[in-house]
Amino acid sequence: MSSLTAPLTEDVSAEPRALAADAGAAAAYLEAVARHRTLGGEELARALGRVATGVRRDVITTIQGAGLGHVGGDLSVTDILVTAYWHTLTLDPTRPDLPGRDRFVLSKGHCAAALYSTLASAGFFPRAELATFAQPMSPLNGHPNRVKVPGVETNTGPLGHGFPVATGCALGAKLLGEDYRTIVVLGDGEMQEGSNWEAAMTAAHYELHDLTAVVDRNRLQQGARTEDTKTLEPLHDKWTSFGWETRRIDGHDHLALVEAMGPSTTGKPVAIVADTVKGKGVSFMEDRVEWHHKVPTDEQVVAALEELSA
Amino acid sequence: MTVTDTPVQVGSPDPAATFDCRQDFAQELAALAREDDRVVAVCNDSVGSSNLTAFREEFPDRLVNVGIAEQDLVGVGAGLANAGLIPFVCAAAPFLTGRATEQIKADVAYSQRHVVLCGQSPGMAYGELGPTHHSIEDLSWMRAVAGLPVVVPADPQQTRAAVRWAAQLGRGSYLRIPRFKVPVVSQESDVFAPGRAVVVREGHDVTLVAVGSMVSRAVWAADALAADGISARVLNMAFVEPLDRDAVLAAARETAGIVTVEEATVSGGLGAAVASVVAQEHPCPMRILGVENAFAPTGSASFLLDHFGLTTEGVVAAAQDVVGRARS
Ligand SMILES: Cc1ncc(C[n+]2csc(CCOP(=O)(O)OP(=O)(O)O)c2C)c(N)n1
């Protein structure tokens, strides 16, 4: 069929099935988030830690099933995702488009497996769908797609896109007088993209205090260490000099994340430089550049799941 | 008429022996660098995906990695050219051509800088990674830039020829380096020059014009059509810009019509270039095969080529349609 005769509604990207919330999982999630907000200290850390372990296990099996994925960055960002979704963000997985919802953007979109596993854990779609990751006609594409996956705010994958979009989300809230929060998670290598620094200036200029940018500072990018590729340090000072309230924390410490993702105290947008370990939780993947995207063998999956059974 | 003096390949490309042209690209670049110390490689955290690890080992000072920063990448390339170097700027095709289109236009083409833009893993090579990582718009985008040759090698031999050709051009060009594994479809005696198509098969009923990963499929389609009594000419149009207008017009005059095949959107690429010549100079039936106004669903590269009908069977059907229309 030529494009002249094709009806406008026909779209070969249309999927045979749409993803919808898993009502049971969503209810449990909402209850847990409410509980987490009453908890503190060790109890909260333990609760978030349990979710994170589950998400990491799902990341491993999802990538094994798909035969592709960015496992290193998935495991480094997991605690950030889990803390955001299971404590900080106010979302309803059964109504992912609710106007006043908080916004979450994964700018380092290659870590879709971690985002999908987190969304599934919260009931945005059935966890069983993770098994279709990257399979023909699956809605779970190799990179997050808002048209196909409930809970994804914007399509990412090319680095340097999510942050400007998140800045727009936060600016929109300000213009409309709404008080929702926007959290965007960036890769440290991704900070080499100029578009991010353009967004950093926009957000500071408009004093978007409801915007939080978290940098997953695992010190590795695709081919090498960030500091051997293109120096990012002093990263904290860069954010500060761009007009942000800046916090530097251990990005695997759930309590530190909870605190750092709290509101701005200065009226400025908040940047969190979260020191993390690429491949976190699986000893043979930790801090190794080759696990940027690599699929574990069957034996490695067994070993990884063993380590992640705590 | 320039096309008939090129040798005509006999035999079919061997589907069992296929190549990832990034290897030949990297080897030829290293060979050039040995001959000419002005040759440098510039990349965006893509040493591995551009196969430049060996290059870096041999020429540690002549590989510049600007990190994940494609606009910077092309601008730095233009500056290196200004300094008298010959930069080969290597990055995944979608990000190189998409992110840095304006740098390519203003800093390379308009400024007449000798920067070789090397788009790696084009088309739907990054199948499952999705439309953000598919480079199907690059042919249209790069064709729209004035004075920028757009070169689509179809196999290892043509990839090496393209590298060598671009290195001595004296101005910028865009090379689309296949990752999707392709069989050999060319021979060393082929002429590799701007505005020159390679006649892969002679034929008089219909003409199949293909580029890159689609050339082998066009030849296999010609085999299938021959069994059906249809003689198909096959042109490998490695230069989408400048196009071999003579070859296109000869096809329009001498055969019933033309089928174009590209692993790209039909909006503005090879098919559009051929159609523009045909429509203005010698109208004939045409079919333009490619991706029509769609973002791909999830799937591997070969799944997606099937999905969009970019198959031997798809080419055969389009050729039969063209022949049928001409006869009716
Ligand atoms: C614009 C763009 N350029 C290049 C790439 C290819 N790429 C995918 S992931 C990656 C490295 C990202 O590093 P980082 O942001 O540090 O992420 P992490 O280490 O946390 O996985 C690169 C270069 C891309 N996706 N987008």
Average pLDDT of span A193-213:
97
- From ligand 1's centre to the CA of A234, what distance in Å? 20
Chain-centroid distance of CA A228 in Å reads: 25
Q: Which of chain A's residues have a Cβ under 8 Å away from the Cβ of B295?
A: 13
Query: What backbone torsions phi and psi does residue A129 show, to the nearest 5 degrees?
Result: -65, -20
pLDDT band, very low/low/confident/very high, at B8 (cuts 50, 70, 90)? low
Q: How far apart are CA A279 and CA A265, in angstroms?
A: 33
The confidence score (pLDDT) of residue B95 equals 98
Q: Is residue A181 situated within a structural domain?
A: yes
Are A109 and B67 a contacting pair at CB < 8 A? no
Q: Is 80 exceeded by the pLDDT of residue A245?
A: yes
Query: The whole model's pTM is what?
Result: 0.92
pLDDT tens readout for residues B248-298: 999 999 999 999 999 999 999 999 999 999 999 999 999 999 999 999 999
- A143 to chain B, any CB pair closer than 8 A? The answer is yes
Question: If you average pLDDT over residues A22-48, what whole number do you get?
Answer: 97
Q: Where does CATH 3.40.50.970 sit in chain B?
A: 18-183
How distant, in Å, are the alpha carbons of A90, B96, B126, B127, B205 from that of B122? Answer: 40, 10, 8, 10, 31
Residue ranges of chain B that CATH labels 3.40.50.920: 198-327
pLDDT at A1 over 50: no
Q: What is the mean pLDDT of residues B110-119?
A: 97
Contact A155 B132 (CB under 8 A): yes
Give the CATH class of B198-327: alpha beta
Contact residues for A236 (Cβ-Cβ < 8 A; gap 6+):
A246, A248, A273
In a domain, A146, yes or no: yes
Beta-carbon contacts of A303 under 8 Å, excluding residues fewer than 6 positions away, are A282, A284
A171 falls within a domain: yes
% chain A with pLDDT above 90: 94
> In Å, what is the CA distance from B123 to each residue of A86, B22, B93, B179, B184?
39, 14, 8, 9, 18
A111 neighbourhood in chain B, CB within 8 Å: none
Residue of A108, A225, A252 to mutate, ligand 1, most atoms within 8 A of C-beta = A108
Determine which helix (DSSP H) or strand (DSSP E) holds A185, and give its type and residue range: strand A182-187
Among the partner residues B49, B68, B296, nearest to A192 by beta-carbon distance:
B68
Q: Show which of residues 240-279 on chain A sit within 8 Å of chain B, judged by CB atoms.
A: none
What's the rounded Cα separation, in Å, for the pair B32 and B17?
26
Chain B residues inside the 8 Å CB shell of A141: 128-130, 298
How far apart are the C-alpha atoms of B235 and B249, rounded to whole Å?
Answer: 12
Please tell me the predicted confidence (pLDDT) of residue B159: 97
Assign residue A268 the CATH number of its domain.
3.40.50.970
Given a cut of 70, is residue A72 above it in pLDDT? yes
Using CB atoms within 10 Å of the CB of residue B195, give its burial: 0 to 12 exposed, 13 to 18 middle, 19+ buried: middle
Mean pLDDT for A122-130 is: 98
Total domains in the fold of chain A:
1
Of A138, A157, A230, nearest to B298 by CB-CB distance is A138
Q: Is the pLDDT of residue A182 over 50?
A: yes
Tell me: pLDDT of A2 over 50: no
Nearest CA, atom 7, ligand 1? A222
How many C-beta atoms surround the C-beta of residue B264 within 10 A? Answer: 30
* Percentage with pLDDT > 70 across chain B: 97
B94 chain-A contacts, CB cut-off 8 A: 158
Residues B47-62 pLDDT 10s? 999 999 999 999 999 9
User: Residues B57-78: pLDDT tens digits?
Assistant: 999 999 999 999 999 999 999 9
What pLDDT, on the 0 to 100 scale, is given for residue B3? 43
> In this predicted structure, what is the pLDDT of residue B2?
40
Question: Of B237, B194, B230, B188, nearest to B212 (Cα)?
Answer: B237
Atom of ligand 1 nearest to the CA of A72: 21
CA B140 centroid distance within chain: 12
pLDDT in tens, B126-163: 999 999 999 999 999 999 999 999 999 999 999 999 99
Whole-number pLDDT of residue A4: 41
Residue with tokens 């080419």: B315
pLDDT score, position A262: 97
Angle subtended at Cα A163 by Cα A241 and Cα A76, rounded to the nearest 5 degrees: 90
ipTM: 0.88
Residue with tokens 């085999």: B223
- Partners of residue A15 in chain B, C-beta under 8 Å: 297
Pocket test for ligand 1, best of B42, B44, B45 (most atoms within 8 A of CB): B45
Query: For residue A19, is it within any domain?
Result: no
Burial class (CB in 10 A: 0-12, 13-18, 19+), B56: middle
Q: Do you know the residue count of chain A?
A: 310
From A79, A106, A159, mutation site for ligand 1 pocket: most ligand atoms within 8 A of C-beta: A159
A310 band by pLDDT with thresholds 50, 70 and 90: low
- The pLDDT score that the predictor gives to residue B106 is 96
Q: Do B46 and A142 touch (CB under 8 A)?
A: no
Residue to test with chain B: of A3, A5, A12, most B Cβ within 10 A: A12
Predicted confidence (pLDDT) per residue in B206-228, tens digit: 999 999 999 999 999 999 999 99
Do residue B299 and residue A136 have CB atoms under 8 angstroms apart?
yes
DSSP B182: B
Mean pLDDT, residues A170-174 taken together = 95
Residue A118 structural domain: 39-308
Find, among B156, B119, B152, the residue nearest to B23 by Cα: B156
- Subunit contact A230:B65, Cβ cutoff 8 A: yes
pLDDT tens digit sequence for A217-232: 999 999 999 999 999 9
Q: CATH homologous superfamily for B18-183? A: Thiamin diphosphate (ThDP)-binding fold, Pyr/PP domains (3.40.50.970)
Higher per-residue confidence, A176 vs A10: A176
A231 CA: distance to closest CA in chain B (Å): 9
User: What does the pLDDT read at residue B4?
Assistant: 44
pLDDT of the residue at B124: 97
A241 Cβ contact list (under 8 Å, min separation 6): none
For residue A17, pLDDT beyond 80:
no
Cis link prior to B242 (omega < 30° from 0)? yes
Using the predicted structure, report yes or no on whether residue A53 has a pLDDT greater than 90.
yes
